[in-house]
Amino acid sequence: MLPWLADPAPDRLSTLRDIPLAKLARDDMLSMILRGELLPGQRINEPDVAGRLGISRVPVREALRELESTGLVVARKHAGVFVREPSADEVRDLYEMRGLLDGFAGRRAARLDALPRIALADALDASIAAMNAAAAAQDVQRYYRENLHFHWAIVEAAGNQALANTYRGVVQKLHLSRLKNLSRDIGMTVSIAEHVAIARALREGDVARCEKLMARHVGDAYVRLQGAVR
């Protein structure tokens, strides 16, 4: 599951003895970044993280090095470690990559046997209903969360771990570019209609159409985002 799709467990620190300290620190900072509690361009304070988790700064530094390797944070000499803000060119490239990945996932999912495919389509319809409810309430963050859930359900159903791992990394980086726009309606109604078409093609097992709609949907989402930024 994508980290921001699950609420943080209230007793998370109670599992401290069962989790490597560096992983604990990494997951904590990753969740804060993806929930928008640490914003792009913001400096990550090592002592604060260590103090909050009740650990030394050594595993926090190890965790920050791992996050830097994923492209979510950047270390600046004599300044510290900061949450990265993707450039416009990087966002464009990531959307292009995501379009390819979503298209492939849609193709794989539409080729599932009838029973798992229909079960997935039912789950996607439920997700669309949740998106409609969020749109009606003008709750952009809830809509975006459900949007991610919709796409991740298809990626998981594709049954390709390499795809899932790559997709997670791409979407996490793109999420950084969306944080500043999560209070704005970036074409929710149009986007929901696109999701409906995708779910229908998948339910019918129309492999080529599902692949095409998924890839086009990501491209259209990028165009809408660019319009909002401008």
Q: Quote the pLDDT of residue 9.
A: 45
Identify the pLDDT of residue 185: 78
**φ, ψ (nearest 5 deg) of residue 15:** -95, 15
Residue 204: helix, strand or coil by DSSP? Answer: coil
Using pLDDT thresholds of 50, 70 and 90, give the confidence band for residue 2: low
Backbone angles phi, psi at 39, to 5 degrees: -90, 155
> Hey, what domains does the chain have and what are their CATH numbers?
3-83 (1.10.10.10), 88-229 (1.20.120.530)
> Which tokens sit at 123?
């789950």
- The partner residues of 80 in beta bridges, in order of sequence, read 76
Residue 188 has phi, psi (to 5 degrees) of -60, -45
Start-end of H helices in the chain:
21-34, 46-53, 57-70, 88-110, 114-136, 140-157, 161-178, 188-203, 207-229
CB 91 within 8 A of CB 221: no
The pair phi, psi for residue 9, each rounded to 5°, is -70, 135
pLDDT at 24: 92
Among the listed ranges 41-45, 78-82, 142-146, 174-178, which one has the minimum average pLDDT value?
174-178
**How far apart (Å, rounded) are the C-alpha atoms in residues 216 and 99?**
7
d(CA 60, CA 63): 5
Sheet holding 80-83, edge to edge: 43-44, 80-83, 73-76
pLDDT at residue 207 is higher than 90 = yes
Separation CA 147–CA 22 (nearest Å): 31
The tens digit of pLDDT for each residue in 60-75 reads: 999 999 999 988 999 9
Residue-wise pLDDT for 158-203, tens only, equals 999 999 999 999 999 998 888 766 667 788 999 999 999 999 999 9
How far apart CA 21 and CA 216 sit, in angstroms, is 42
At 129-168, the pLDDT tens digits run: 999 999 999 998 899 999 999 999 999 999 999 999 999 9
pLDDT > 70 in the chain, percent: 90
> 154: how many CB neighbours lie within 10 A of its CB?
24
Structure tokens at 134: 């969020």
pTM of the model as a whole: 0.84
pLDDT of residue 17: 58
Give the pLDDT confidence score for residue 109 in this predicted structure.
Answer: 98
10 falls in which pLDDT band (50, 70, 90)? Answer: very low
Average pLDDT value for the chain: 90
Q: Which residues contact 104 (CB under 8 A, 6 or more apart)?
A: 158, 163, 211
Q: Pick from 41, 29, 154: which is nearest to 98 by CA?
A: 154
What confidence category does residue 121 fall into, taking pLDDT thresholds of 50, 70 and 90? Answer: very high
pLDDT at 229: 65
Most confident of 23-27, 118-122, 222-226: 118-122
Kindly report which listed range (50-59, 119-128, 176-185) carries the lowest average pLDDT score. Answer: 176-185
